[in-house]
Amino acid sequence: MSTFELKAGYLSGVIGRVTELHASYYHEHWSFGPFFEAKVASEMAEFITRYDSDRDGLWTVLLDDHIEGSIIIDGLQGKSKGAHLRWFITSDAIRGKGAGSRLVREAMTFCRAKKYSRVYLWTFKGLEAARHLYEKAGFKLVEQHFGENWGQKAIEQRFEAVL
């Protein structure tokens, strides 16, 4: 059996593969459709065009040289509003094997090294496994409301970690 490895920085195909992981998972488990897939693809493409490794963090999980997970720290407003944790996902091939914990740990270590005072993320109610990892890393629920940010009605939640 192969073991996964974490890779920092941009990899060719990352936008497509991370979009595919999100679209597949959220369609299967939450019935999200084309709006969500397009949102992930367009926002991630915009991020990649301005990616700066001095400010932003990008990690992928590779299994046999194939992208099976990701996490991103968008540090564009890291010093003023806090760093934005985005596009955290793992595939079925590595889910439950510690990859998610390692990704969150890498992201938080990066944020501390960059001296960001806070990290925030947006998610929605019901993603309990991810919420457990966020809370383990020091995130607290600071806001929630009904919304359609992902193209579906959901209880949107903002979590924040003060570093």
d(CA 90, CA 65): 15
pLDDT at 138: 97
Domain total for the chain?
Answer: 1
Mean pLDDT confidence for 135-145? 97
Q: What is the pLDDT of residue 130?
A: 95
The confidence score (pLDDT) of residue 33 equals 94
Domain assignment of residue 102, yes or no: yes
Residue where the block lists tokens 């999200």? 32
Tell me the CA distances in angstroms from 31 to 65, 95, 158, one per residue in order: 29, 20, 21
Summary mean pLDDT of the chain: 95
Residue type for 163, please? Answer: L
Establish if 31 belongs to a structural domain.
yes
Q: 63 lies in a domain?
A: yes
80, part of any domain: yes
pLDDT at 158: 97
Backbone torsions φ then ψ of 68, nearest 5 degrees? -125, 10
For 75-97, the pLDDT digits (tens) are 999 999 999 999 999 999 999 99
Tokens of 127: 């993603």
More confidently predicted of 153 and 23: 23
Strand pairing category for 118-124 and 83-90: parallel
> Domain range holding 54?
5-116
Q: Averaged over 112-119, what is the pLDDT?
A: 97
Is residue 137 situated within a structural domain? no
In this structure, what CATH number is given to the domain that contains residue 62?
3.40.630.30
Q: How many C-beta neighbours within 10 Å does residue 106 have? A: 16
State mean pLDDT over 127-147.
96
Predicted confidence at residue 2, as pLDDT, reads 65
Residue at 135 is within a domain: no
Instruction: Tell me, yes or no, whether 89 lies in a domain.
Output: yes
Query: Which pairs with CB-CB distance under 8 Å and at least 24 residues apart come from 32-39?
Result: 32/150, 32/151, 32/152, 33/151, 34/151, 35/150, 35/151, 36/150, 36/151, 36/152, 39/150, 39/151
When pLDDT is averaged across residues 26-48 and rounded to a whole number, the result is 96
Residue 21 in domain: yes
